[in-house]
Amino acid sequence: MQAAIRNLLLVLLLLPQTLKAEGPSALRLCYQLQDHPPFTLPANNAQTPGPGILLELIQAAATQAGLTIDWQRQPWKRCILALQRGDVDGIFPTIWQAERDTWGQFPGRDPQAGQPVQRQYRLWQVDYPIATRRDTRLSWDGQRFANLKYGLSSPLGYLTHQRLAELGALASVSLQPDKGLQLVASGRLDGFVIERNISLALIAQLHLQEQLQLLPQPLLQADWHLPLSHTFYQHHPQLAVRFWQALGQQREAREAELRQRYMP
């Protein structure tokens, strides 16, 4: 009996060290302050079907990987800076670009070996259409714009903002989505670009369905990812891969159900 008690005490003493060796039990994840239905929704709102597609996916993946989530909300540029400093362990959602390798570690990415991001670990596949007035003369063929008058806008720090600048189509003012769509509706901006489902939800929320349309050709199509900080990945590479794998598995298993519930 005494030997059994001694063995139990030894296990209890060693357990914290074992858990520490395996890595942290929580991920500090940062995402944007502004809610973007159907991907992130206000907490404790009985009128919504849940916290949002991305939050559900990430929470399910964390549970599968044996982790809890410390959710943090900040302006997007602060999330990026926090990731670079290692003040948070990950940010979402973001599109990979080569220059963003400095932000953090994207799943499967190895710049030195030329290894691309592994898209099976993506959060979601998205596209970014152009919202315009229904009576607009603006056209977009996937390569260039015609009949620009005021320019187009997109949130600062987004890849769409950079793409509009490269095309010479960026308006001088950077706007939040609700303000941008209202300016388009009032005829003071040629168009606004944000993810399709977010755009549709905002247009409905602002009661602008009669004034606005989405052009058939999107500005871009891409995958959203959840990069982890270089510090976290260097110290816990196996845990990082386990989490990304769980994320991919949860998306494959639940995508149809989430689309049905959040995108009726």
In which band, very low, low, confident or very high, does the pLDDT at 157 lie, cut at 50, 70 and 90?
confident
Estimate to the nearest angstrom the gap between the alpha carbon of 12 and the chain centroid.
40
Per-residue pLDDT, 4: 44
Q: For residue 201, what is the domain's CATH number?
A: 3.40.190.10
Per-residue pLDDT, 46: 67
Q: Assess whether 100 and 217 both reside in one domain.
A: no
Side-chain half-sphere CA neighbours of 53 within 13 A:
25
Count structural domains, the chain: 2
140: containing domain: 125-221
Query: Hey, what amino acid is at 17?
Result: Q
Summarize pLDDT for 199-241 with one digit per residue, the tens: 999 999 999 999 999 999 999 999 999 999 999 999 999 999 9
Q: What's this model's pTM, rounded to 2 decimal places?
A: 0.87
Top-confidence residue, 110 or 22: 110
In which band, very low, low, confident or very high, does the pLDDT at 151 lie, cut at 50, 70 and 90?
very high
Is 21 within a domain?
Answer: no
Q: Assess whether 35 and 145 both reside in one domain.
A: no
Tell whether the model's pLDDT for residue 7 goes beyond 90.
no
Per-residue pLDDT, 197: 96
Tell whether the model's pLDDT for residue 3 goes beyond 70.
no
Provide, rounded to the nearest whole percent, the portion of the chain with pLDDT above 90: 83
Q: Assess whether 193 and 231 both reside in one domain.
A: no
Is 12 within a domain?
Answer: no
How many other CB atoms sit within 10 Å of the CB of residue 152? 27
Name, in order, each residue with C-beta under 8 angstroms of 83's C-beta and a sequence gap of 6 or more.
30, 90, 91, 103, 104, 227, 229
Q: Assess whether 231 and 195 both reside in one domain.
A: no
Is 37 within a domain?
Answer: yes
Q: Assess whether 129 and 208 both reside in one domain.
A: yes
Q: Assess whether 173 and 107 both reside in one domain.
A: no
Q: Assess whether 82 and 144 both reside in one domain.
A: no
Tell whether the model's pLDDT for residue 156 goes beyond 90.
no
Summarize pLDDT for 161-181 with one digit per residue, the tens: 999 999 999 998 888 899 999
Is 166 within a domain?
Answer: yes
Is 66 within a domain?
Answer: yes
Q: Where are the beta strands (DSSP E) in 95-164?
A: 124-128, 130-133, 139-140, 145-146, 152-153
Name, in order, each residue with C-beta under 8 angstroms of 9's C-beta and a sequence gap of 6 or more.
none
Summarize pLDDT for 22-35 with one digit per residue, the tens: 578 899 999 999 89
Summarize pLDDT for 31-86 with one digit per residue, the tens: 999 899 999 998 776 677 899 999 999 999 999 999 999 999 999 999 999 999 99
Tell whether the model's pLDDT for residue 15 goes beyond 50.
no
Per-residue pLDDT, 126: 97
